[in-house]
Amino acid sequence: MDPQLRELATAAPVTLYRHLSSSPKGLTEHEADGRSVPHAAGQRERHWRSTVASPFAALLTVLTVVFVVLGDWRAAITVGVMVVISIALRVWQQVRTDQAVRGPRALVTTTTTVRRRPDTGMPPVDREIPPDDLVPGDVVLLVAGDVVPADVRLVAATAFTVDQSALSGETLPVRKQPPSDHGQAEDLSAVCFAGTSVVSGTATAVVIAVGAWTYLGVMGEQARRARPESSFDRGVRSAGWTLVRFMLVMAPIVLAVNGFVTADWAQAALFAVAVGLTPEMLPVIVTANLARGAVHLSRKKVVITRLNAIQDLAGMDVRCVDKTGTLTEDRVTYAHSVDLSGRPDGVAAEYAYLAAQLQTGPRNRLDKAMVEQHESPLADAMFVLVGFVGFVDPVRDSAAEAVHMLDRHGVAVKILTGDNRHVAARVAEQAGVHVAEVVLGHQIEKANDTQLHRLVRRGTVFAQINPVLKARIVTARRDAGHAVGFIGDGVNDTVALRTADVGIAADTATDVAKGAADLILLDKDLTVIARAVREGRRTLGSTMKYVKIAASSNLGNAVSVLVAAGTLPFLPMLPVQLLVQNLLYDAAQLTLPRDRADEDHLRVPRRWDTGGLTGFMLTFGPLSSLFDLITFAAPGWLAGTDTPAEQAVFQAGWFTEGLLSQVLIVLVLRSRDRVGITARPVLAAAVAVAFIGVVLPWTPVADARRMTALPVGFYAWLPVILAGYVLAARVVRTRHMRHRGTGL
């Protein structure tokens, strides 16, 4: 515990005022102005750097500079546009997310009562000011219903109780009064912490910490620290390095072969760089997928605060939930009453009702005088035990259905709570969670790493768990290779929310919890989490479709150009032509977020599969290369276009065939279904891009791209080659799925 906080909590009032340079009459306005601190700037979330930054965007930026240095402005502009689109999409989505999260908060205004003096020697005045205007040393007045605006030390209190469940998870209000007891920070009876709420009574207190220096602010700062790398981040990094290694191997080989054959090292360098862009539109495609996923989730009343969390949902196979306020409604309701023999009886309930109705509120001075008059213990005979009254925090109506839906989608639910084992187990049963084993907090505390992994693997209910242990349980599951989601609503859940792959909070959660969360639920219906999991898997599936197909196509292109470069006295395609081909193909893939997903893909957790990416590339890349070379052979040997004089025709032909084959292969490989019903936007984009690929060599734009019109005979045998490619791809796809047990 902070020694200064303990010192202020236990100090006599005179010492407290002297330490804070204050007095019971409060600060003067001049003194308060001199102590004001601009907290707002420090409280803003500084996430724009991570929003804009992207490894692939950085790579494309470097390549743009390379094109500028080499003097190919067309290629530089083409790649630069890709960078701008990618960053613009990410910024646009982050702005929308910020507005969704902060918009409702702007509608709520709060004030606090402060005692200040207009000037030295003048009497104090109690007035309302915004909590952000408080400074250390201010004297504040608190009454029932107030939210404690800062960390304060009580100097006077009457029947004063505070709800600090957001900090400690305690269900019942805590009595606060000077002087202080010793204990943990949240247990100090003379200190009230920012963000807690007054349940009853009145108090006068002195502000000891504000803004980022409060206990709440420190927890919030921990929430803003860099979070551990999620399963999605690890997958993207691994896939990215796979593609970068491919680029680093292929680009120098292409450069060397083309340079020696053509003796034009500048063009060879540009062509090698163009081949190395694999796949250059990945940031745009990923962002488009995430943006559409965020829009879908917003319609289900889920706000996304970290875009990548959508795809982290796809891999989530363990969800840890806090009991109070998550599975339950966080309100106490009457359950039943029994007599002394345990039989149902309403007498005790009637007396409890009368006691509640006759409750007149906090004690005043008359109450205190009466208590002092009758200090002697009351005889036991003055009380008659008539029975017992039971109360319950009811389980949410949607809890059992949500648990069932998650179980059907391969997500195990574990309950983490500070309550006792019997209450936790009962709530788990009512919520439909199979209680395999109840693990207690002291077992987690005493366990070494091996024992901990065994406990968290077997246990489904964890009772009497403090915030530190919650985070330790989440970490243990992650270390075991699981993608973990955590849902909580209190400040005490902040560390676990930040540690999990996906942190989830309700809109009614504390600001610190929402700041640490990746998803914020605007609806109390917990089934929306299961729907969000499906959306995450659909989004990841669309992204992986693009990455796998694009990477295999680029591998095929690279092999094809290596063979062509070794046999042709000119480049098989100019750098700008290759970039335009890739740009058109990638533009068609922007519709993949609207594609349908296979149902079997949605039923089980999915992650980025780098091994699957490599296997897919090595399977379909050579197939693509084979039909590229067939195209290269047909017009070159039969039509005599393999001479430098006819290179424009050759390049235009390969441009058209390569584009059409890439577009068609997407339609063939996009689904595991035999028929593979294609979503309308995907089909429309494929048709549009195919049309552009066919007519582009005939348009005036072709001159700028150094292409020319193709002979009519080219279009006679082109369908034959494409039909053969499609049939071969279907056969290979079937064998690939049978061998690996999975499709895209």
Q: What is the pLDDT of residues 659-711, one digit of tens each?
A: 898 888 888 887 665 444 566 788 888 889 989 888 888 877 666 556 677 77
Checking if the pLDDT of 153 tops 80, the result is yes
pLDDT score recorded for residue 349: 86
Q: Are 585 and 624 in contact (CB under 8 A)?
A: no
pLDDT score recorded for residue 474: 92
Q: What is the pLDDT of residues 545-579, one digit of tens each?
A: 777 887 788 788 778 877 877 777 777 777 777 77
Sheet holding 519-521, edge to edge: 302-304, 519-521, 502-506, 483-487, 316-322, 412-416, 461-463, 438-440
Q: SS3 for 713? A: coil
Q: What is the mean pLDDT of the chain?
A: 78
Q: What is the pLDDT of residues 714-726, one digit of tens each?
A: 777 788 888 998 8
Q: What is the pLDDT of residues 253-272, one digit of tens each?
A: 777 877 777 677 766 666 66
Q: What is the pLDDT of residues 7-21, one digit of tens each?
A: 788 888 899 999 999
Q: What is the CATH number of domain 250-297+534-740?
A: 1.20.1110.10
Positive or negative torsion for Cα 498, 504, 507, 508: negative
What CA dihedral angle connects 342, 344, 346 and 349, to 10 degrees?
60
State yes or no: is 187 an active-site residue: no
How much of the chain, in percent, has pLDDT values that exceed 70? 75
Checking if the pLDDT of 584 tops 70, the result is yes
pLDDT score recorded for residue 126: 94
Instruction: Cis check for the bond before 38: say yes or no (omega within 30 of 0).
Output: no
Checking if the pLDDT of 374 tops 50, the result is no
Q: Are 529 and 402 in contact (CB under 8 A)?
A: yes
Maximum mean pLDDT: which of 167-171, 371-375, 496-500: 496-500
Q: What is the C-alpha separation between 634 and 710, in angstroms, rounded?
A: 14
Residue 722's φ and ψ, nearest 5 degrees, are -65, -40
In this structure, the number of other CB atoms found within 10 A of the CB of residue 610 comes to 18
pLDDT score recorded for residue 705: 54
pLDDT score recorded for residue 220: 61
Domain ranges of the chain: 3-46+109-223, 59-106, 250-297+534-740
Marked catalytic residue, from 151, 317, 322, 419: 322
Statement: the pTM of the whole predicted model exceeds 0.75: no
Q: How many alpha carbons lie under 13 Å from residue 98 in its C-beta half-sphere?
A: 12
Q: SS3 for 320? A: strand
Tokens encoding 171: 């269900």
CATH topology for the 3-46+109-223 domain: 2.70.150
Q: What is the pLDDT of residues 392-425, one digit of tens each?
A: 888 888 889 989 999 999 999 999 988 889 989 9
Checking if the pLDDT of 472 tops 80, the result is yes
Q: What is the C-alpha separation between 666 and 539, in angstroms, rounded?
A: 17
Checking if the pLDDT of 469 tops 70, the result is yes
Positive or negative torsion for Cα 557, 560, 566, 569: negative
pLDDT score recorded for residue 650: 81
Longest alpha-carbon distance in the chain: 117
Top pLDDT among 374 and 55 is at: 55
